[in-house]
Every structure is written in C-alpha cells, then in structure tokens.
Structure 1
Amino acid sequence: MQRRTSVAVISGSFGAGHDGAAAELARRLQEQGHAVHRHDFVDLLPRRTGVLLRGLYRRQLTVAPRTWGWLLALAGSERFGRPAAALTAAADDATLAAVGGADLVVSTYPLASQVLGRLRREGRLAAPVVTYLTDLSVHPAWVADGVDVHLALHDDTARQAKQLGAPDVRVVAPAVRPAFQRPGPSLQREVQALVVAGAWGVGQVERAALDIAGTGLAVPVVACGRNDPLRRRLNRSGRIVALGWVDDMPALVRSCRVVVQNAGGLSSLEALMAGVPVVTYRCLPGHGAANAEVLDRIGWVPWLRGRADLAAGLRAALDGRTAFTPSPVQPETVIAELAVTS
C-alpha cells in the first residue's frame, strides 16, 4: 500500500446480516492498514426515525411477514420512489458529515447506498462509493445511480445488478469470518440439522423444526437468536433443541450435518463457507423468497418448497452434495485498490 487511506463503512442494523458483512469487511481492511470508520444508517436518520423503522421492520417480520413481501414488491415500483427518496434524503447531511473525509465509502445496506449515490450525483461527496450486495437477489433499492462499483457474490447477481443499471459490477467471494473457513472444535457432536432464522428468530421456525423432526432423519436444533419467547416455546415441545444467542456460531455450524435456513442471508453463506450443506425451507416472504430462488437457480442451496420435498431434500443434503463455488476474488482486494487509486 502506498499510503494510509481512510475507508468509511455504512451498514444498517436491520437484523445482523448487513452488520456482519460490514464488520468483516472493516476487519479485513484494517488488517491491510486502512483506517476504517463504521457507521449505522439507523443513527444517521434524524429524531430516532431509524430506531422506529427498525422496530417496525422487526414487528412486521414477527407478526405479519407476508405484508413485508407486499411492501418489498411495492418498493420496486415508481409510486414508492418519491416517499422513499424523501425518507433517505433526511439522512443526507448526517451521512455527509460522517463520511465526508474518507477516501472511499463502502455500503452494505441499500438505503445507505441510495443516500451515497445521491450525494455523488450532486457532487457533494468526492470519495468513490462501493456497494457490497449482501443478497444474492438484487432488489431495485440496492442499485443507486451514482454508486461507482457494486460487488456481487455470483455472476447471476451481477447480471441482475447490471439489468437495474449498475455501471460497474464485480464478482467477489462472500465476506465471511475466517472462523467459518477453518477447522475447529464443535459444540455439540449430536447436532444433525441446524435451523437458523437470523438474529431475531423470525419466520415459520417452529413449523419448520417440527416438520424436520417428523421426517425422522435429523434432530432439529434451532438457533433462536434473541427471540427468547420462541426458545422457551420450542423447548417445551420435547422434540426440538432450542438455543438462545450463540457466541460461537462457527463451532455450532461445524457440528451439524445440514443447515436449514429461511432468508438466504449471511447465515447461509457462513455455513457454505464452512463446508456444511444448506437447504431453504419455509422461507420468509419478500427477500427470503427472492434469495431462495437465486440460490436454488445457481445450485448453491436447494429450495424445498413444501413438506413433500423435505425428506428427499434432507437426505440429499445429508449425503453432502453441494455445488458451492465462490469467486477467488476477495472483496477487500477490490475495495483496497479503489481506495488507493481514488
């Protein structure tokens, strides 16, 4: 590296996926000698607007997840564009104040990318902007005019981003912690099927776990995240092992034979990087279904669309068959090159 550069990383604490990717990218860039400053988009919105939006999002996924799918579909339409632009514009000044001195800005959250793209278009932000696409499916909100480079995790994702107008898209490997990529001790040798539902433990988790138990092929172990009511309810069933917040997820993932997921986010990529087969079952509406479709299409994670598919899908996964082939290009390499040349 020719000089010490400053990189600002903006995520969004709506679940743990965006933050997880941001944290790993920040760690890698710091190892390379960059000065990295992280920001949460929630904190950049004025008067606790971000906190309220995060609470509403979590409530929606917990109580009425189907409405999230409807809202996400509406968000891709023109009639939604004006109120969305007004909402994100409220974060313009705070975002500029937070990242204005950086040599390069990285976003792992779509609304942050919208703000950064607008600041670039208006000439208010001089630093190049990179969007790291945490999803395999690209929603229109992910692609903001003005963003210089988009990083995609697969050729299919890159194609989607280009169709939505992204001018420069590069395919990179997932930003997953090294602990998932190297051998290590396991927490529970008896675990066979690990059911993950994000940090909030949302979706049809209980039904999925009971369906798995009903096949007789695996003992369902559910990582409930911070959803303590779900953990207590599942443990009363007598057929499911329900865990609360797990500090050592790499060891837990390595101790299972298959991971069953419902959102297609960071947990799926972590398991795949650990060499553990993953299946999608009873996925969340909206981004969950969209990611499931792409993951199934590219051959990384089969989508088991109903109970009739579950037993055969689990058998195939337990046989260890997977077609996961990440790009050899690391995201921090691309980011570092852009930061140095900016």
Structure 2
Amino acid sequence: MIISARVGAGHDGAASELSRRLEDAGFAVDRRDFLDLLPAGLGRLLAATYHRILTRAPSGYQRLYASTEHLARPGLLVRSLIRSCQRRTLRAVAPGTVAVVSTYPGASHVLGGLRLAGRLRVPALTYLTDFSVHPLWVAPGIDAHLATHPVPAGQAQAWGAARVTVVSPVTGEKFTPVHDSARRAARAAFGLPAGQTLALVVAGSWGVGAVRESATEILRGGVAVPVVVCGANEVLAARLRADGFPYVRGWETDMPGLMRACDILVQNAGGLTSLEAFASGLPVVSFRCIPGHGQTNAAALDEAGLAVWVRDPAALGNVLTSLATGALGERQRASGLRLFTSEPGPAAVITTVVGEHGARHEPVTHHPRAVRRGVRTVAVALAGVAAFGIAAPAQAADVVPARFATAAHHLIERYEL
C-alpha cells in the first residue's frame, strides 16, 4: 500500500512511479490519498489553504516553514488530527498487505503512530520526495526511510530517522537522455526554434512563484530563449502570452518530450521535475525559488553539485552559458545521470525490508457507529477551526489550549466523522 497526497504533483508522481516498479517486482499495489483519510473533509481544506498561502502570502509561508525547522514533532492540533485518522488508515490496509509506504510527511506520522502502538503489524516506510529533509518528514515509528542522495540521507539521519538508505530516484521510464537528432525532432514536434539555446522554465503543477520575472530575466540576458510551463495556472499562462513570450505552455502532458527539446531546466521548487531533468540529461539551475522547501531544496541540490542555485539575477546569464556549452553543464549532466546507476532501486530495498520482517497484517475489523447530528456539527466546527494547523508542512506553535485539541480528537475519532 502506498499513501500519497494531492498537494502539488510531486508526492503523487513519486507514488505512481513507485507503484509501477513495485508491480514489476511482483507486488500488487493499493494507492491511497492521505487527504481522503482526514476527517470531516479537512483534506480538501488542507490542499486549498496550502495553495492560497503559497500564492498569496509566500512570506508568511516562509516564516511558518522556518519556525518549524527545529521542532522535534508536530504541534498539538496537528498531532490530534493525525490521531483522528489513524483508524481510517488502518481500515484502508487490505488483508495480506506486507508493507505500507508513505510519500507524504503527514501520512508518515499516522503510520509511525500506528506502528508504535502495535496496531499496524507490517513495516512502514517513508520515501523522501524532497531533496532537503524538513524534520517533520521524520516520524517516530517508521521502519525505514529512502532518500535519493547522501545529502538528504544525512539530513534525515541528523533528525533521527531510522534505517536511512540511499536509493535511485523514481522517475518515469520515458525520461532518458537523447542525442542531437532526437532533440531536433522534439523541437520540430513542439514548434520550437532549432538553432537557439532553450531554457525550460518550470514552477510545479500549480505554477507558483516569480515565474514572469524569471522568464523576463532569461530573455533579457540573451543567452537562452525561455520555454515556460505554467501547469494549472491559466492566469499565469495568459499573462505571459500577453507579455509577448512566444513559447508558453499550460498543463503539459508530454514533459519527457519537452525536456528532450530543451537544453537547460530552470526551476524554483527542487521537486520531482528536477529529478526528471537529471534523468533526461538536462543541467538544472535553481532561480527565484519559492519560500520554504523551494529554498532548502535549492541549497541541498547546490551542496550535492547537482544544480547551481543562482541568488543574484546578474549572475544568471553566465551560469546559463556555462550550463549550455561549458564544463559546468557537463559535470552536472554526469552527476545527475549517476543518481540512477549508483544506488539500488527503491523497490529492491522495500522488498528486502518486507523479506526481513516476514509478517502479515490483518486489519482491525470495524463497525460504524451511529452519529447524532449535534455531535457531528460540534466536531466539524472544532476540526474546521483546527484546519490551519495542518494547512502547511507544520504548525508553528501550540497556540490552542490542550482541552480544545483533545475535544476535537475525541469527537472525530469516536464518531468516525
């Protein structure tokens, strides 16, 4: 069983490819979304609020992220809501399941709590989708953590993660390096110019961040022509087209093909798209990164020698030149491709953990309880007020009295909202 979350596309993307590889290894895989396991419809609220914070109050998100970088565990409301969906999670585990893998930190805390309580009797693993590791990625009770490079592996170990193993990244099988002839064919298919250096500008599935500024500075520098992917952000795509940018794409269904057509990737979040670029042989530059994980991922990628983090816009042109035609680009291409050949695949490591454990899980049977409308209303109100405690990676402080959180947890857990 794999638990992901539809918060952006990185967690789901990693889960999808991990599912394919585990199925190739002989497992049947059940996919679940953590947001659907939260009570009282809070999953939808979580995703919507997180999106609003990133797009409308990025400085607030940065402060929240920074304030939780040294917390040993989530805040009180977060812990209450995590406990409230443990029973749902346990019921979702099908008979015969031999392991549960999380690609989202909230799910890892639920699974870790179940393991510590002895209620989940099969291994629980976390696949770290970020290249930097926020402490809330590390949940007590998780049996093993899978990281895609020694840098995030070291960060996870520093936060006390159990059994950290470096594995090759999970990217789709269509993301592969290409020769010049295939690149020319890809450019023709996408209607892109044949004789210019193309910088593929990405901003995640939501198209967040200073994308217009990045595209403008790339074009003004004269080194490369920006090809901008806006994801689901139709407003951004319309503005860029109105600005006169000739190569603007909305939701892209053929990212492997588009990467084959371009020379450099310019990214601002450091997520799955960066790993896909490495697999495609594209050098990567981090520029105008979004707050929080965007900046910590950029720092980790820079430390690993995989992607230069350009903090000064004046330096962007020289970096793009060196990545497109210089030694820096060659080094980064080699380092990126090495990720996929130097370590075991995650499916092999998961298989090993399952084999060592040798146990089978029988999920707890459950009989729904009747819920009175008044109790449901009170519990939903409490949970709604608590929603901001889970709307970002963590809660900055325990600002709500313990009695409030305890009441919310008791009602939600007891009455199965």
What is the aligned partner in structure 1 of residue 352 from structure 2?
Answer: 337
Q: Unmatched 5+ residue regions in structure 2? A: 358-417
1:202 and 2:196 are equivalent in the alignment: no
Q: How far 1:111 moved relative to its partner?
A: 0.6
Is 1:89 the equivalent of 2:83?
yes
The answer to whether 1:63 aligns with 2:56 is: yes
Alpha-carbon separation, structure 2, partners of 1:239 and 1:104: 48
8 Å contact 2:72–2:135 — kept in the other structure? no
Report if the CA contact (8 A) 2:177-2:279 is conserved. Answer: no
Q: Among the aligned pairs, what percent are the same residue?
A: 47
Query: 2:411 aligns to what?
Result: none
Q: Matches of 1:25 and 1:151 in 2, distance apart?
A: 12
Say whether the 8 Å CA contact 1:100–1:125 is kept in structure 2: no
Deviation at 1:341, TM superposition (A): 3.6
Query: CA-to-partner distance for each residue in 1:85-125, whole Å, 9 max, x for gaps?
Result: 11222221111111263210000001100110010001010
Identify the match of residue 92 of structure 2 among 90, 93, 98. 98
Query: What residue in structure 2 maps to residue 166 of structure 1?
Result: 161
1:29 matched to 2:35: no
Equivalent runs, 1:127-166 vs 2, <5 Å: 127-166=122-161
Task: Note the alpha carbon deviations across 1:268-318, whole angstroms, 9 max, x for none.
Answer: 000011001110000011000000000001100000112111111111111
| Residue of 167, 176, 181 corresponding to 1:181 | 176
> 2:103 & 2:281 partners in 1: Cα distance?
24
Supply the AA of the counterpart residue of 2:129: T
Q: Could you say what secondary structure the match of 1:178 adopts?
A: coil
The structure-2 alpha-carbon separation of the partners of 1:39 and 1:248, relative to structure 1 and needing over 3 Å to count, comes to: same
> Does the Cα contact within 8 Å between 1:120 and 1:146 map onto a contact in 2?
yes
Query: TM-score, normalized by length of structure 1?
Result: 0.94
Contact 1:138 1:160 in 2 (8 A): yes
> Which residue is 2:288 aligned to?
282
Alpha-carbon separation, structure 2, partners of 1:220 and 1:158: 33
- Larger Rg belongs to: 2
Question: Secondary structure in 2 aligned to 1:48?
Answer: helix
Q: Does 1:121 align with 2:116?
A: yes
Tell me which moved more, 31-40 or 235-244.
Answer: 235-244
Preserved contact between residue 196 and residue 259 of structure 1 (Cα < 8 Å): yes
Q: What pairs up with 1:4-83 in 2 under 5 angstroms?
A: 8-76=1-69, 77=71, 81-83=75-77
C-alpha change, 1:84 and 1:75, in structure 2 (3 Å) is farther
Q: Secondary structure at the match of 1:336?
A: helix
Checking the alignment, whether the CA contact within 8 Å between 1:221 and 1:242 is kept in structure 2 is yes
CA-CA distance at 1:159 after TM superposition:
1.0
Aligned length: 335
Q: Distance in 1 between matches of 2:20 and 2:152?
A: 25
What SS does the aligned partner of 1:131 have? strand
Unpaired runs of at least 5, structure 1: 1-7
Inter-partner Cα distance in structure 1 for 2:74 and 2:31: 29
Shift of 1:75: 3.0
Distance 1:126 1:227, change over 3 A: same
Structure number with the bigger relative contact order (C-alpha 8 A, sep ≥ 6) is 2
| Aligned counterpart, 1:5 | none
Instruction: Give structure 1 regions of 4+ aligned residues with deviation exceeding 3 angstroms.
Output: 182-185
Q: Is the 8 A contact 2:200 2:259 kept in 1?
A: yes
Question: Could you tell me the TM-score, scaled by structure 2's length?
Answer: 0.78
Asked if 1:211 is matched to 2:208, the reply is no
CA distance in 2, matches of 1:137, 1:39: 24
Hey, what's the Cα distance between the residues in 1 that align with 2:135 and 2:297?
14
Q: For residues 275 and 174 of structure 1, what CA distance do their matches in structure 2 show?
A: 14
Question: 1:293 touches 1:303 (CA, 8 Å); kept in 2?
Answer: yes
2:201 partner SS: strand
Q: Could you tell which deviates more after superposition, 280-289 or 310-319?
A: 310-319
User: For residues 224-239 of structure 1, what are the structure 2 equivalents within 5 Å?
Assistant: 224-239=230-245
Q: Tell me the secondary structure at the aligned position of residue 259 of structure 1.
A: strand
Q: Which has the higher helix share?
A: 2
Alignment partner, residue 395 of structure 2: none
Distance 2:324 2:351 in 1: 39
> 1:220 aligns to what SS in structure 2?
strand
1:3 paired residue number: none
Q: CA deviation at 1:207?
A: 0.6
| Partner SS for 1:180 | coil
Superposition CA RMSD, Å: 1.5
